[in-house]
Amino acid sequence: MPAFVVRTIGCKVNQYETQRLVEQLEALGWRRCTNGAGADLCIVNTCTVTEEADAKCRQALRRLRREHPGALVVAAGCYSERDRSGLEAMPEVDRVLGNAEKERLVEVLGLSDGDAPCAPSGISRFAGHARAFVKVQDGCDQFCSYCIVPYVRGRSRSRPMPDILDEAQRLVENAYSEIVLTGVHLGGYDDAGRRLPELVRAFDALEGLLRLRLSSIDPKDVTVGLIEAIASSRVACPHLHVSLQSGSDTVLERMDRGYTRGDYLAMVERATSTIADLVLSTDLMVGFPGETADEFADSLDVIKRVGFGKVHVFPFSPRPGTAAAAMTDHVPHDVVKERLARVGDVAKAAAVRCRERFVGRTVDVLVEGRTRDGERWHGFTPSYLKTLFALDNAPVGGVQRVHVESCDATRLVGRVEVKP
């Protein structure tokens, strides 16, 4: 039986697409190799959103070549789409496949013939996870000035709603009680006029589903309709990861984000006043070309005002071919480093305030596994707050009622409620 190894760099969409590749190869008789040498095929599902992501992809390709010297090493996905010639020049790489070719990897590599069973188009499980991701949309039409994604993923396109619901039902039947909807531009979902709010409402009818969660979404897409759909849903979780990028109107304009600081704060007010126990998380870019001290201070102010549960902060990374890559007013490295640290401090304080709201309350925790020391279990609340608790046995994928006794910037800590 031939064996394969696959490594994933990047976003939830990439993670979903890797799972689909795994199931396609396994349906054709391949065996996934997780440890040691001996693979016949090595795939890196690449990301190119930052220079750091590029570096991780190259490192993964070199490592796989060392570990599996006789294998066919394939670079697939977004980095391959952006810099095919650069990857082809790497001696460790045998084949380079863009995103369209990745969709047809089995066919492109000649791994099946007419007598082989039909490889599945979706997924039936999500290996190594208590939650399952479902890709509902691909591509992006926004073309923010710093972003390479529309160039490597193409224009926005959406899966038919019945296909999504069928796949989700299959996952629920295979013991995944939480589904995470993901897409390159999730808020751009559009199936013949049926938008994201309609998709969220449709999940209420899925028998056995406990939770529905949305992955990253743009503030413009957190509409009144979506807020109401989440608030009234049987399964939708009170958590939104709404990308901010900057709290400064002038920086947002240079980024071509299409909204203002005021728009973002108004969205937060609408959402938090309608969705009970809502927790917000976000992305923030530091050091965008020309970012002044006052513009940076505006970003800190928004973090304090909103009280995010988590802020994913990262430095500006010029992507070849984007408008921002041609901007010349770069922020010095030492200034960027200092600002990253300041965001970390402000975000930590905000995260503690966010979690303090739940101390003294009882929350439902979807169990994901044991802590590294093996002494406690961990999982997530509907508001996507990591929670630790002690228990002799807590089945992964099950739900425990936990009384929250304390918190810090990254987690809640509590004890399991004993049933009477």
* 200 has a pLDDT exceeding 60: yes
Residue 114 has pLDDT above 70, yes or no: no
The CATH-assigned architecture of domain 362-416 is: Beta Barrel (2.40)
Strand 41-46 relative to strand 3-8, pairing? parallel
Q: What pairing do the DSSP bridges indicate for beta strands 132-138 and 178-183?
A: parallel
pLDDT at 120: 64
What pLDDT, on the 0 to 100 scale, is given for residue 180? 98
How far is residue 17's CA from residue 92's CA, in Å, rounded to a whole number? 23
pLDDT at 78 over 80: yes
Query: Comparing 86-100, 111-125, 362-376, which segment has the lowest mean pLDDT?
Result: 111-125
Q: Which residues contact 196 (CB under 8 A, 6 or more apart)?
A: 186, 187, 189, 214, 221, 226, 229
Confidence of residue 280 (pLDDT cuts 50, 70, 90): very high
Q: Using DSSP, state whether 365 is helix, strand or coil.
A: strand
* CATH fit for domain 132-356, picks 2.40.160.40, 3.80.30.20, 3.40.50.970, 3.40.50.1220: 3.80.30.20
pLDDT band at residue 284 using 50, 70 and 90 as cut-offs:
very high
pLDDT, average across residues 95-106: 95
Residue pLDDT, tens place only, 89-100: 999 999 999 999
Its pTM surpasses 0.85: yes
pLDDT average, residue stretch 41-60:
97
Contacts (Cβ under 8 Å, ≥6 apart) of 380: 365, 366, 368, 386, 387
pLDDT, residue 177, reads: 95
Residue 420 scores a pLDDT above 80: no
Residues 234-253: what's their mean pLDDT?
98
Looking at residue 417, the DSSP 8-state letter turns out to be P
End-to-end CA distance of the chain: 52
| Mean pLDDT across 317-330 | 96
Per-residue pLDDT at 118 exceeds 70: no
| Mean pLDDT computed over every residue of the chain | 95
Residue ranges per domain, the chain? 3-108, 132-356, 362-416
Lowest mean pLDDT among 38-52, 109-123, 188-202, 327-341: 109-123
Q: Is the dihedral of CA 106, 112, 119, 161 positive or negative?
A: positive
- Helical segments of 289-373, H only: 293-306, 333-356
Fold (topology level) of 3-108:
Rossmann fold (3.40.50)
Chain segment 346-358, per-residue pLDDT in tens: 999 999 999 999 9
What does the pLDDT read at residue 277?
97
pLDDT of res. 196: 98
Rounded CA-CA distance 39/418 in Å is: 48
